[in-house]
Amino acid sequence: MKIKPKILTAPVVRVFDQIMVQAQLDGVDYESVNRKERASLVLGTGQVWVEVCLFPLEPFSGPKPINRAESVVCDPLCAHTAINAPLTGAGRCYVNHLGIKRSQQKALQQLESKRFNSLLVGGYILRLTKWGDISALNNDGLAWALELCVSAAETRAYSNIWRHEESALEAGDLWRYRLIQGLKGFVQASVSSVEDALKAKRAGWKVYAGARQDEIRAALIAEGVRVYKCPYTTPTGRVFCANCPMPCDGTRHIMSPKEPT
């Protein structure tokens, strides 16, 4: 008897409170231009690349719209936001903010059109997230992010959600606590200091260091754990996010390929 494949019916855009969660298929809903990602490579494996992005539901407008948008969709403790970067010295977020404005307009159009994608369970690689942090989502949104992770063949994900694991338990929000626990096996803990890296590691998370990599690597090695360096080199190299042999999937400690500029 033939086994019918499981399909996850995924709206291209879902709304949780005032945040849009956009899950697009490369080559269908958009064409990836991220040179480190090289999303098109997954097609040769019979899979597809799904990229998640968070946007405020309110259109960008007024003075400093990116700063206000970051306050909605990014983690308040992220070291790379416009407000925090000058204080942390970790460098500004690498995302092209002009491109983000255009992408939000597209997400609003997709929301209005009520488009869906049918994802084969175990048939896609999930990038979580291009912009925004799942820590900004309410519990329903976090459950959706976890469902996307569980249904994926592989993940490429990092987040500040690890910072909220303890506080969710202390607040008695057991659902959120369990959701965060569930994400631990799919998502790297974003860190930019030795203190954060050790705290995340001791809580059972695998870290992704986007700044101060040498210091963090040394501290983790001193703790007796193995640390990996992202193998991406240049756009003309052989290893990209799509075909990476040591992906950011919550299973190993990883240092980013270069210090932010």
Rounded distance between C-alpha atoms, residue 163 and residue 135, angstroms? 9
Structural contact between residues 203 and 162, judged by C-beta atoms closer than 8 angstroms? yes
- The pTM score is 0.91
Please name the residue ranges forming H helices in 25-84.
Answer: 65-73
Q: For residues 4 and 107, which has the higher predicted lDDT (pLDDT)? A: 107
pLDDT digits (tens, 9 = 90+) for 5-64: 899 998 999 999 999 999 999 999 988 888 889 999 998 889 999 999 999 999 877 777
Percent of the chain as helix, strand, coil, to the nearest 5: 35, 20, 40
Burial grade of 243 (CB within 10 A; 0-12, 13-18, 19 or more): middle
SS3 56: strand
Q: How far apart are CA 201 and CA 206, in angstroms?
A: 6
pLDDT tens figures, 74-124:
988 887 776 777 777 667 776 666 678 888 999 999 999 999 999 999 999
259 falls in which pLDDT band (50, 70, 90)?
very low
Structure confidence at residue 260 as a pLDDT band (50, 70, 90): very low
What average pLDDT score do residues 236-248 get?
A: 93
**Mean pLDDT, the chain, whole residue set:** 90
* Tokens matching residue 151: 């249904």
Instruction: Work out whether the CA dihedral 164, 167, 171, 174 comes out positive or negative.
Output: positive
pLDDT band for position 226 (cuts 50, 70, 90): very high
**Buried/exposed 22-58: b ≥16 CB within 10 Å, e otherwise:** bbbbbeebbebebebbbbebbeeeebbbbbbbbbbbe
Give pLDDT tens digits for 118-155: 999 999 999 998 999 999 999 999 999 999 999 999 99
**3-state per-residue secondary structure call for 28-67:** CCECCCCCCCCHHHHHHHCCEEEEEEEEECCCCCCCCHHH
Annotated domain spans of the chain: 7-255
Identify the helix (H) or strand (E) that includes residue 15. Answer: strand 13-16
Give the tokens for residue 44.
């040769």
| Span between the terminal Cα atoms of the chain, in Å | 56
Asked whether 158 and 249 are in contact (CB, 8 A), the reply is no
β-bridge partners, 209: 191, 255
Distances (CA, A) of 79 to 95, 162, 172, 206: 14, 14, 27, 18
Whether the Cβ atoms of residue 56 and residue 19 lie closer than 8 Å to each other = yes
For the segment 223-236, the average pLDDT, to the nearest whole number, is 92
Q: Provide, rounded to the nearest whole percent, the portion of the chain with pLDDT above 70.
A: 94
